[in-house]
């Protein structure tokens, strides 16, 4: 196990290994998206309260899940980068930040589009999850901003790793402080519609979409990491060999 | 422990010799609050609702403004490198610098804040609670802020990126502190929210020095 981990950490092995997996992952992800979207938009019955407008859930909920998941991946790979100074962990962490920020942004936009017909307003400060999602977006932007501000990229990666670890401790505190704020000030009662236990026909497409989003993240992460690996190792022999083969053939 | 006191003394002496720097954050704090009121022109009974948040946001901004000085001059004259390569635990030195920063900036804000709270129409009792939240909350700002400063100290223009890193992390302090005062004014018990603030204080003072020390090692190397 450790040996495998170690081998994967070396850029050429990672590059070859990820190249082999990418087409398969893309295929599975595409199929899951088609099934999930069909299931969500066509097969699932309309909600008795929200009629068809609930269907945005099939994008909103997985995006929101991913926004947290990606931050977690970032913090864990940040910890690995600090402890073992592993280059690949740095690359995974750095490549994850813009993807996570995009998921967070998507969750915010779809959330506010969903909020308009449901709550009657585009933005609701009373909803704790919406607000803490917004702050999560700022944390992502901070990570990206710090990385681009430091010129020495190895140093920048180490700094970002520390920042993302600090962030992961703060996310629960921020989240619960926002919730606490709102339980104290009893907000307008429309903000929370009671979710009746969800119908299986609605749930299954949601889960499929969640898996599809995870795979999509994996694919984009691999693509970005491969680029980053090539760019960082652009002066080494193996990159010249790999890319040279392609241009010759 | 000797080192801790030495650093604390040194920073305080340095601050006293540069009195302008000592006063600036406090003047900035007062100015922001005055500007708020001039812009709002709110009726006294409405202003009371805003007062805790206004005072606290001004406190956040003045802490942010003064944070940049925490390590910059030490970085420029090389003292910071000496601290890091010394045999003492860096986190202990960082803790001394955090506390020195709080005494220089946070304490002034804590003392002036209640007066401004009264100017904004808070009752005397509510002002006492505001004082208490400032007393507990402003050291948290210095502690969390030190992480951000340590990460950006190597940069020539760290100011803007520093605010981007640190302000989201200040959110819990702002929420708990200003809520404590509004809850008190509304007549509800505040023991729970004060306990939360104290928890934030303990957590940040015990964890932030480690993160800051690690960040300094990266920035200075």
- According to DSSP, the residues that pair with A47 across neighbouring strands are A51
Q: Among all residues of chain A, which has the CA nearest to that of B174?
A: A177
- Which residues, 6+ apart, have CB-to-CB distance to B63 below 8 Å? B25, B105, B106, B109, B138, B141, B142, B145
DSSP state of A51: B
Residues of chain B above pLDDT 70, percent: 100
Average per-residue pLDDT for chain A: 82
Q: Which of B175, B200, B215 sits opposite A159 (nearest CB)?
A: B215
| Domain boundaries of chain A, sorted by first residue | 23-43+54-191+200-244
pLDDT at A118 over 80: no
Q: Among all residues of chain A, which has the CA nearest to that of B214?
A: A162
Q: Which of B51, B54, B56, B44 is nearest to B182 (CA)?
A: B51
pLDDT for A208-244, tens place per residue?
999 999 999 999 999 999 888 888 888 888 887 777 7
User: How many Cβ atoms from other residues are within 10 Å of residue A115's Cβ?
Assistant: 17
pLDDT at A132 over 50: yes
pLDDT of A183 reads 59
User: Which residues from A are below 8 Å from B when comparing CB atoms?
Assistant: 82, 135, 138-139, 141-142, 145-146, 149-150, 155, 158-159, 162-163, 165-167, 169-170, 173-174, 177-178, 180-181, 184
pLDDT of A190 reads 42
pLDDT at A105 over 90: yes
Task: Read off the pLDDT of each residue in B132-138 and give the average, rounded to a whole number.
Answer: 94
B219 part of contact set with chain A, CB < 8 Å: yes
pLDDT of B78 reads 84
CA geometry: angle A42, A43, A44, nearest 5 deg: 100
pLDDT of A182 reads 65
pLDDT at A129 over 90: no
pLDDT for A172-211, tens place per residue?
888 887 777 765 544 444 444 445 456 777 788 888 999 9
Q: Looking at per-residue confidence, does B156 or A171 come out higher?
A: A171
- Which residues, 6+ apart, have CB-to-CB distance to A178 below 8 Å? A128, A131, A132, A135, B171, B175
Q: Among all residues of chain B, which has the CA nearest to that of A146?
A: B161
Q: Looking at per-residue confidence, does A99 or B72 come out higher?
A: A99
pLDDT of A191 reads 42
**Lowest-confidence region among B1-5, B100-104, B130-134:** B1-5
Min distance A20 CA to chain B CA atoms (Å): 36
pLDDT of A6 reads 67
Residue with tokens 């005055």: B34
Band of the pLDDT at B166, cuts 50, 70, 90? Answer: very high
Band of the pLDDT at A103, cuts 50, 70, 90? Answer: very high
A52-61 CB burial, b ≥16 within 10 A, e <16: eebbbbbbbb
Contact: B169, A170; criterion CB under 8 Å: yes
pLDDT of A2 reads 65
- Model confidence, pTM: 0.86
Residues of chain A above pLDDT 70, percent: 86
- According to DSSP, the residues that pair with A51 across neighbouring strands are A47
pLDDT at A70 over 50: yes
Q: Which of B74, B151, B67, B171 is nearest to B109 (CA)?
A: B67
Question: What DSSP letter does each residue of A82-100 carry, written as one string?
Answer: HHH--HHHHHHHHHHHHHH
pLDDT at A37 over 50: yes
């Amino acid at each position: 196990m450790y040996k495998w981990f170690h081998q994967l950490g070396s850029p050429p092995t990672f590059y070859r290994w990820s190249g082999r997996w990418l087409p398969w992952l893309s295929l599975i992800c595409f199929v899951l998206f088609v099934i999930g979207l069909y299931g969500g938009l066509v097969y699932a019955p309309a909600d008795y309260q929200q009629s068809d407008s609930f269907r945005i859930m099939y994008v909103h909920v997985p995006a929101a899940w991913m926004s947290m998941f990606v931050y977690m991946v970032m913090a864990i790979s940040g910890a690995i980068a600090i402890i073992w100074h592993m280059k690949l962990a740095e690359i995974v962490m750095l490549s994850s930040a813009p993807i996570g920020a995009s998921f967070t942004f998507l969750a915010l936009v779809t959330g506010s589009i969903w909020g308009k017909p449901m709550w009657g307003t585009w933005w609701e400060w009373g909803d704790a999850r919406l607000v803490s999602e917004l702050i999560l977006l700022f944390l992502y932007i901070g990570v990206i901003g710090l990385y681009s501000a430091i010129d020495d990229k190895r140093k920048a990666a180490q700094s970002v790793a520390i920042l993302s670890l600090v962030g992961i401790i703060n996310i629960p505190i921020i989240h619960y402080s926002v919730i606490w704020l709102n339980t104290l000030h009893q907000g307008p009662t429309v903000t929370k519609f009671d979710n009746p236990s969800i119908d299986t026909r609605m749930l299954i497409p949601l889960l499929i979409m969640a898996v599809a989003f995870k795979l999509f993240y994996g694919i984009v992460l691999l693509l970005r990491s491969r680029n980053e690996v090539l760019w960082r190792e652009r002066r080494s022999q193996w990159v010249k060999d790999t890319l040279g083969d392609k241009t010759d053939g | 422990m000797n080192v801790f006191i030495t650093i604390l003394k040194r920073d305080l002496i340095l601050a006293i010799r540069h009195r302008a720097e000592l006063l600036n954050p406090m003047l900035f704090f007062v100015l922001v609050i005055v500007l708020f009121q001039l812009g709002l022109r709110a009726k006294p009974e409405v202003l009371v609702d805003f007062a805790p948040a206004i005072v606290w946001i001004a406190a956040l901004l003045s802490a942010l403004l003064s944070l940049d000085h925490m390590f910059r001059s030490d970085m420029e004259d090389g003292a910071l490198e000496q601290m890091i390569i010394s045999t003492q635990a860096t986190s202990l030195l960082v803790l001394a610098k955090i506390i020195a920063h709080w005494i220089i900036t946070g304490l002034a804000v804590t003392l002036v804040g209640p007066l401004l709270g009264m100017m904004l129409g808070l009752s005397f009792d509510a002002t006492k609670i505001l004082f208490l939240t400032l007393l507990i909350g402003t050291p948290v700002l210095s502690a969390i802020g030190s992480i951000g400063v340590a990460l950006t100290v190597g940069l020539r223009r760290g100011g803007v990126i520093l605010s981007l890193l640190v302000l989201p992390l200040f959110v819990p302090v702002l929420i708990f502190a200003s809520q404590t005062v509004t809850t008190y004014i509304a007549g509800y018990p505040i023991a729970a929210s004060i306990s939360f603030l104290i928890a934030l204080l303990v957590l940040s003072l015990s964890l932030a020095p480690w993160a800051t020390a690690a960040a300094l090692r990266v920035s200075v190397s």
